[in-house]
Amino acid sequence: MIHTRICEILGIEHPKRVQNRRQVNQAILDSDDHDTVLTEIPDITASQVWSGAMSRVKRNRFVERWSGREWLLRQNLSEAAGSVRAARKNGDTDEVPLFYGQDAGLISDLPPAATIIERLVEIAF
């Protein structure tokens, strides 16, 4: 949970992140512990497949479209990658892979990083 919160606050959800941080933040705040999935779809789309590796991402229209059809995604890679680039530019969080874990369902706010550290210190001592 700490990783997801810190990454989101610092805006490092993914190197090729969605332009509108507010929409990404809202997707995380609206998340529950059942709306993510382990898949290789984002890696296929980015042409960075690691054998046996999976990514945990939000289950959205993009992921649902290609889920179980990864072979078709590979055949239409250029078109799919172009679609993702356009969606990132337009801030469409339903048409891009959003990398975050099941722990996002436990996040109810996205305070500044300093506040998170203060909370951690308070809990630790």
**Which domain covers residue 43, as residue numbers?**
2-110
Q: Is residue 122 part of a domain?
A: no
With bands split at pLDDT 50, 70 and 90, how would you rate the model's confidence at 108?
Answer: confident
Q: Is residue 123 part of a domain?
A: no
With bands split at pLDDT 50, 70 and 90, how would you rate the model's confidence at 11?
Answer: low
Total structural domains within the chain: 1
Q: Is residue 99 part of a domain?
A: yes
Q: What is the pLDDT of residue 7?
A: 61
Q: pTM higher than 0.85, yes or no? A: no
Q: Is residue 118 part of a domain?
A: no
Q: Is residue 119 part of a domain?
A: no
In the chain, the percentage of residues whose pLDDT exceeds 90 is 40
Q: Is residue 117 part of a domain?
A: no
Q: Is residue 56 part of a domain?
A: yes
Q: Which residue has the higher pLDDT, 41 or 1?
A: 41
pLDDT at residue 61 is higher than 90 = yes
Cα 114 to its chain centre, rounded Å, is: 23
Count of Cβ atoms closer than 10 Å to residue 6 Cβ? 14
Q: Is residue 124 part of a domain?
A: no
pLDDT at residue 21 is higher than 90 = no
Q: Are 41 and 57 in contact (CB under 8 A)?
A: yes
Q: 86-102 pLDDT, tens per residue?
A: 998 888 889 999 888 88
